[in-house]
A = this chain, B = another copy of it.
Amino acid sequence: MTRIKFKLQGFPQIKEGKLDLDNSQVILNGQNYSINQLTFDNPISGTLYGTVLNYKGEYELLKPEMDEKPYQKPPEAPVLYIKPVNTFSSHQKPIPLPEGEEQVQIGAALGLVIGQTATKVKAEDALDYIEGYTVVNDVSLPFASVYRPAIKQKARDGFCPIGPWIVKRDEIKDPHQLTTKVWVNGELKQENNTNNLIRTIPELLEDVTEFMTLYEGDVLLVGVPEHQPYARLGDRVKIEVEHVGFLEHDVVKESDVYTREVSADEVR
Binding site for B on A (CB under 8 A): 5, 8-16, 28-29, 31, 33, 37-39, 41-42, 46-47, 49, 52, 65, 68-71, 75, 77-82, 84-90, 92-93, 98, 116-117, 119-120, 145, 147-152, 155-158, 211-216, 254-255, 258-259
Contact = CB atoms under 8 A, between A and B. Distances in A.
Contact of A89 (B10, B116, B150): B10
Given A147-B70, A212-B151, A47 B84 contact: yes
A259 B37 contact: yes
19 contacts: A10-B41, A11-B89, A11-B93, A12-B85, A13-B85, A14-B117, A16-B116, A31-B255, A49-B84, A68-B69, A69-B70, A71-B145, A79-B151, A82-B82, A82-B84, A84-B212, A86-B215, A87-B212, A152-B212
Contacts of A258: 8, 11, 28, 33, 37-38
A33 B259 contact: yes
Contacts of A41: 9-10
A80 B153 CA distance: 11
Contacts of A152: 77-80, 211-212
